Every structure is written in structure tokens, then in C-alpha cells.
Amino acid sequence: MNIVKLNKEQGVALGLIVLAVVTRLIPHPPNFAPITGIALFAAARFQSKGLAILIPFLGLFLTDLVLGLSAISFFVYIGFGLILFLGFRTKRTTVPTIMFSSILFFVVSNLGVWLLYYPLSLEGLISCFTLAIPFFTNTLLGDLVYTGVLFFTFSSIKKHYLQPS
């Protein structure tokens, strides 16, 4: 059995991701969630792409076992994976990156809602996305807040506690 050893920075990153994942289990406004922040943060902080993929997906899956899995979960995971991929491709996590991630997740998850719950017509597609627009505000705010908190907290911890003596 091959055990992965994390350095101090990776341990801090893991701890922050675990805390963010746990926030999915406490009451929060609809769509104000840590998913995008976790994906972008994991992609930026773990040198191992395997860990960057495994850790957040595992956290998402474990909380989904508590919250409940549904047919739409498949599309949530696809959106999450695409955001991870985007995180791997970008050099820095910026506000435009976060906003693009929010839009990407909105499109993928609502395509899933349309495919599963609406008439498969142009009218059904328009209706689905139109009704989803009010939820996008919370999605975008949650993505900006969680991503900012994860990166800022990590940076502060690294600066104050992880510097060589």
C-alpha cells in the first residue's frame, strides 16, 4: 500500500478544503456553496493532479451521501470536473476565472436540469435557464466568497506560520 505524504502546505490546503466541504452541511442560502472555490483551490495548491482531483471529489461525494444524491448530481460532478480542469489550465486564479467558472457550472448544471426535468424543446430550454437566473446571483457570490476565503486564508497561514525560521 502506497501512502501519500503531504508537506505542510498541502496539509494546510487539505484542512481548508475539509472545512469548506463541511460548510455544505450547514444551512446556507440556495446555491451559495463552496464547490467552485474548492475546485479552483485544489487545482492550484496540489502539485499532484491525482490529489487535486481525488480530495475535492471525495469531499463532494461524502457530503452528497448526507445531503442526498439525485439524478442532477451527475451534472454537478461534470461541472465540478470542468472547473478543476480550468483550474489546472490557468496560471492564476483571478476574478474573471471565478466568474467564468460560475457561468460554466451554471450552464452545465442547468443543462442537466433541462434534460431531466423540462420538455426537450427550445421553449423548455429557455424556460429552464430563465427560471434559474435568480439562483445565479447566489452561485456567483458563493464562488467569489469561498474562493477568496480559501486563497486568502491559505496565503495568510503560509505567510505567518509556514515560513522557514
Q: How far apart are CA 32 and CA 135, in angstroms?
A: 9
**1 lies in some domain:** no
pLDDT at 123 over 60: yes
The confidence band for 4, taking pLDDT boundaries of 50, 70 and 90, is: low
**4 lies in some domain:** no
Question: What distance lies between CA 98 and its chain's CA centroid?
Answer: 10
pLDDT at 30: 92
Domain count, the chain: 1
**pTM of the predicted structure, to 2 decimals:** 0.91
**85 lies in some domain:** yes
CB burial readout 55-75, b (16+ within 10 A) else e: bbbebbeebeeeeeeeeebeb
**44 lies in some domain:** yes
Q: How far apart are CA 82 and CA 92, in angstroms?
A: 16
Q: Give the residue-averaged pLDDT of 10-28.
A: 94
pLDDT at 2: 58
pLDDT at 106 over 70: yes
